[in-house]
C-alpha cells in the first residue's frame, strides 16, 4: 500500500475510539452495575438525578455514535478536499471533535459509573480544564466547516473573520483551561467549576463578536 492510499492515523483513531466507546456503552447496558447511578448534578455539584444501567449505557453508546458521525463525517469531507492546505485544516477540525467527544464521554460516563455523588472535587475541574487546553491548542488551525469552530454568518462570508475569530477562541479557551488546571488542586468548589463554565461562555460570545467585527472591516468579505 502506498503512502498516498494509507488510511490517516486520525481516521483510525476516530473509528477505534468511537467503537470502543460504543462497545463500552453496550457493555454497561447489558452487564453494568445493577444499582442506580448518578446521571445529573445540580449547581452545587451534588447528584440530584439517578438512572439505571440501561440509560447510562445508551448515553455512553450515544456519545460514541455521535463522535463517529461528526469526526468521521468531517474526515470524509477532508479526504475529498483537493487542496492539501484545506485538507489539513479540516483534519484539525476532526481532531478537535475527537478530543471534545472523548473528553465529554470520560467526564460524564466516568462520573456516572464511579457513582460520584458530588463533583465538588479537583478531578472534574482538572478534567474540564484539560479538555479546554487541548481544544484551544488546535481550534485556531481549523478550516471553515459546518461542524466545529466559530460558525457564524460572518465567518462563512469572510475567511479572515473565520481565521481570526477561531484563533481568538482557541487562545481564550487554552488560557482558561490552563488557569483551571493550575488552580484545580486548591480551588473552592463548585464555584471554581462554575467560573470555568462562565469564562468559556464569555470566550464564545467574545469570539462571535470578533467574527462580526472582522467581517465588517474585511475588504474581501462577501455580502449577504
The 3-state secondary structure of 40-61 reads EECCCCEEEEEECHHHHHHHHH
Instruction: Give me the residue spans of the domains in the chain.
Output: 7-117, 120-224
CA torsion 213-215-217-223 (nearest 10°) is: -140
Give the closest residue to 147 by CA, choosing from 84, 201, 98: 98
**pLDDT tens track for 56-109:** 999 999 999 999 999 999 999 999 998 999 999 999 999 999 999 999 999 999
**From the centroid of its chain, how far is CA 93?**
10
Residue 100 in 3-state DSSP?
Answer: helix
Residue 88 is inside which H or E element, if any? helix 84-113
Q: Is the peptide bond before 190 cis (omega within 30 degrees of 0)?
A: yes
Q: Cite the DSSP H helix spans in the chain.
A: 9-31, 53-79, 84-113, 122-139, 159-183, 191-217
Report how far residue 130's alpha carbon sits from residue 148's, in angstroms, rounded to the nearest whole number.
18
Length of the chain: 224
The owner of cell 475541574 is 125
Count of other CB atoms within 10 angstroms of residue 181? 17
Count of other CB atoms within 10 angstroms of residue 108? 16
Give the range among 1-15, 22-36, 153-167, 208-222 with minimum mean pLDDT: 1-15
**% the chain with pLDDT above 90:** 92
Report how far residue 92's alpha carbon sits from residue 61's, in angstroms, rounded to the nearest whole number.
24
**% the chain with pLDDT above 70:** 98
Residue 5 pLDDT class (50, 70, 90 cuts): low
**pLDDT tens track for 113-142:** 999 999 888 999 999 999 999 999 999 999
Amino acid at each position: 500500500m502506498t503512502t498516498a492510499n494509507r488510511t490517516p492515523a486520525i481516521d483510525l483513531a476516530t473509528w477505534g475510539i468511537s467503537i470502543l466507546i460504543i462497545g463500552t456503552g453496550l457493555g454497561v447496558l447489558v452487564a453494568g452495575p445493577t444499582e442506580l447511578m448518578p446521571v445529573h448534578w445540580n449547581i452545587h455539584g451534588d447528584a440530584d438525578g439517578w438512572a439505571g444501567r440501561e440509560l447510562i449505557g445508551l448515553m455512553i453508546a450515544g456519545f460514541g455514535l455521535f463522535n463517529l458521525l461528526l469526526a468521521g463525517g468531517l474526515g470524509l469531507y477532508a479526504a475529498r478536499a483537493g487542496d492539501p492546505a484545506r485538507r489539513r485544516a479540516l483534519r484539525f477540525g476532526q481532531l478537535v471533535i475527537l478530543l471534545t467527544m472523548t473528553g465529554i464521554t470520560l467526564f460524564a460516563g466516568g462520573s456516572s459509573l464511579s457513582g460520584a455523588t458530588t463533583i465538588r472535587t479537583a478531578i472534574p475541574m482538572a478534567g474540564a480544564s484539560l479538555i479546554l487546553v487541548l481544544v484551544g491548542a488546535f481550534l485556531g488551525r481549523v478550516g471553515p466547516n459546518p461542524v466545529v469552530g466559530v460558525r457564524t454568518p460572518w465567518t462563512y462570508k469572510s475567511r479572515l473573520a473565520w481565521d481570526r475569530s477561531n484563533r481568538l477562541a482557541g487562545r481564550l479557551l487554552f488560557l482558561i483551561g490552563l488557569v483551571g488546571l493550575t488552580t484545580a488542586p486548591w480551588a473552592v468548589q463548585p464555584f471554581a467549576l462554575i467560573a470555568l463554565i462562565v469564562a468559556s461562555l464569555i470566550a464564545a460570545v467574545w469570539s462571535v463578536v470578533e467574527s462580526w467585527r472582522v467581517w465588517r472591516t474585511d475588504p474581501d468579505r462577501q455580502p449577504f
